[in-house]
Amino acid sequence: MARRWAFRLLLLCAALVPLIDLRGQSPAGSSSPAIAPAPDTAPLVVLVHGMGRTSLSMLPLQLALQRSGYRVLNFHYSSYGPSVPRIAAALARSIDAELNARPASRVHFVGHSLGNIVVRWLLVHDPPNREIGRFVMLAPPNRGSTVADRLSPYIGWLLAPISELRTDSGTAVELPPPWGIEFAIIAGGKDRKVRIAETCLTGATAFAVVPSGHTFIPMRPDVIAMTRRFLADGVLPGHRPGPRSSGGIERSAQVPSSTMKPQR
């Protein structure tokens, strides 16, 4: 138990330490290497965090992707009030502003939990006017969540999007799959908020389960490495394309964190 909490604390500290300038500059007096600015033609990766979280929860993933040569838009939104369509509309405006300032060769997406439903809504109703690349879903409630079923009557007034994550109705279960693009699903084997079966979605290119809970799955080094690899070449190493059944899902292997070039 103590080791588990120590690991979580370490991951949290990695997300909160504001010692790295996200524009690619090292702080004055720092000996750590700077992140070289991505070229204007580099792919853009859009990160969308989960419910009740902030963009800081996606910071380790952002830094890893920037070191791999991607441009990154780490989108922040409030879970307290806005519906999924409203959050997606704000996301669309942020992406448009980013692309108008610096065009990109294509746009990839990485979401965590509710962030995946926001991205799915965007891709169906208001996709960016650019080539869409690949989409990595981390612990996505694609079939809703039984936890949302239980909690939405009590906290839906505070966290409005939770009612859209119900298993019987709502945005998550009513949205069609993102046809025409490659997407991967990475579920947490110890996730008590979104079960493995609730993450499944027809058409997935690849599916993996890692030994993780829900909250910190975007910060895991193995998940970050898997995300980089899938964005680069559409592969989750060691896994078959798509889940066949909940009993046939393979567990994730450790993925080498070697440098992977962005897909152009």
What pTM was computed for the model?
A: 0.80
Q: Is 81 left (phi over 0), alpha (psi -120 to 50) or beta?
A: left
Tokens of 135: 């989409």
State yes or no: pLDDT of 198 exceeds 60.
Answer: yes
State yes or no: pLDDT of 32 exceeds 70.
Answer: no
Q: Per residue in 118-160, pLDDT tens?
A: 999 999 999 998 899 999 999 999 999 999 999 999 999 989 9
Q: Per residue in 36-75, pLDDT tens?
A: 566 667 899 999 999 999 999 999 999 999 999 999 999 9
Please compute the mean of the pLDDT values over residues 229-248 and round it to a whole number: 66
State yes or no: pLDDT of 107 exceeds 50.
Answer: yes
What pLDDT does 130 receive? 86
Residue 209 forms beta bridges with which residues? 187, 251
Residue with the bigger pLDDT between 38 and 211: it is 211
Tell me the pLDDT band of 89, cut-offs 50, 70 and 90: very high
Domains of the chain: 44-233 (3.40.50.1820)
What is the SS3 string spanning 50-118? CCCCCHHHHHHHHHHHHHCCCEEEEECCCCCCCCHHHHHHHHHHHHHHHHHHCCCCCEEEEEECHHHHH
State yes or no: pLDDT of 207 exceeds 80.
Answer: yes
Q: Tell me how far apart the alpha carbons of residues 193 and 220 are, in angstroms, rounded to a whole number.
A: 17
DSSP H helix total and E strand total for the chain: 8, 6
Q: What order do you get walking across the sheet with 71-75 strand by strand? A: 71-75, 44-48, 107-112, 132-138, 182-188, 206-210
Q: Per residue in 170-197, pLDDT tens?
A: 999 999 999 899 999 999 999 999 999 9
What pLDDT does 26 receive? 33
CA 103, 104, 105, 108 dihedral sign is negative
Q: Tell me how far apart the alpha carbons of residues 88 and 168 are, in angstroms, rounded to a whole number.
A: 22
